[in-house]
Amino acid sequence: MTLLHPKKRGLFASDNLLPLFVVISLAFSAINLLLLLSLAVGTFRVASRPETRLVQLVDGRSVLTEPIDHLERSPETIRLFTRNALSMMFTWNAITQVPDAAGVMQTTTDQGVDVGGGRATTKSWQASFAFSEDFRGPFLEAVAEMTPPDIFTGNAQSVFNLTTLSDPLKVDDGEWVVEVVGNLIIFDPQTPRGRAIPFNKEVFLRAVDPPSDPLPEDASPIQQAVYQVRGAGLEITEMNELIKE
């Protein structure tokens, strides 16, 4: 006589395994669907949120921003950078300001910076950080050679008079050229009315990463000036004589 084993009964009986698996799968699918719906709702909220344009700088100022590609710069930014860099480079005088022990700015005579065989003003040296590293040294040496020694005694000064600054022409990704027409006007005892040296150049620029680290609280005026010069995310890479047809 053959004894038959009784069928296992209960939740894990063989007849109940398949339906149980289906129920568990449906439960997990429902949870997954809820998670996907939550993610979709969150994404929609972020996408529909107004674009953040107001940014507060480390010095407390607030500015409006506009999202652009990291190699793009607006024409206004390029023109302003070029104007400021050249004006700072070629406006020479003997007056400069340095902080005293209490941090109060005091007016003093600029002793300049020795560059090669000449001497450049401190402002010109600061402005040179607006130039690419391979172009900065030779160009600053040329500026030092043309800076009159009387600048440092207060008997001479110069003004950079910008006449025309063209709109930037894009020559490659993150690279532009602008045309600059102006004069470097030098005033000294021999020419009290000023003598003009024409400055007609093609100025080539490229986009670079601006400084990412904030200035320390005890930053010197020179550090602040250099930081400001590099803050535009641009640098001058080359200058050629502008040939007008």
pLDDT score for 121: 94
* CA gap 176, 169 in Å, rounded: 5
69-241: CATH topology: Nuclear Transport Factor 2; Chain: A, (3.10.450)
CB-based burial, 65-102: b 16+ in 10 Å, e otherwise: eeeeeeeebeeebbbebbbebbbbbbbbbbebeeeeee
Its sign, for the CA torsion 127, 129, 135, 139, is: positive
Share of the chain above pLDDT 90, in %: 48
Tens of pLDDT, residue by residue over 32-69, are: 888 888 888 877 776 666 666 666 665 566 666 667 77
Q: Could you give the 3-state DSSP secondary structure of residue 47?
A: helix
Question: What are the boundaries of each domain within the chain?
Answer: 13-45, 69-241
Packed helices 221-230 and 75-90: angle between N→C axes, nearest 10 degrees: 140
pLDDT score for 234: 95
- Indicate whether this model's pTM tops 0.75: no
Residues with Cβ within 8 Å of residue 168, at least 6 apart in sequence: 75, 78, 79, 176, 177, 178, 205
Give 10's pLDDT tier (boundaries 50, 70, 90): low
DSSP string, 90-120: H---SEEEEE-TTS-EEEEE---EEETTEEE
pLDDT score for 16: 60
Reference 108, options 150, 152, 146, 159; nearest CA is: 152
User: Does residue 20 have a pLDDT over 80?
Assistant: no
Please say whether the beta carbons of 77 and 84 come within 8 A.
Answer: no
Give 223's pLDDT tier (boundaries 50, 70, 90): confident
Tens of pLDDT, residue by residue over 88-116, are: 999 999 877 666 666 666 777 888 999 98
pLDDT score for 13: 56
Which residue reads 């930037």 in tokens? 168
pLDDT score for 36: 87
State residue 232 phi and psi, 5-degree precision: -75, -15
The whole-chain average pLDDT of the chain stands at 83
User: Does residue 211 have a pLDDT over 60?
Assistant: yes
In this structure, what DSSP letter does residue 154 have?
Answer: T
User: Does residue 226 have a pLDDT over 60?
Assistant: yes
* CA gap 204, 178 in Å, rounded: 7
Mean local confidence (pLDDT), 227-241:
92
Mean local confidence (pLDDT), 206-213:
86
Tens of pLDDT, residue by residue over 132-175, are: 999 999 999 999 999 999 999 999 999 999 999 999 999 999 99
pLDDT score for 94: 87
Query: Quick one: tokens of 59?
Result: 């010095």
User: Does residue 22 have a pLDDT over 90?
Assistant: no
CB-based burial, 183-214: b 16+ in 10 Å, e otherwise: bbbbbeeeeeeeeeeebebbbbbbbeeeeeee
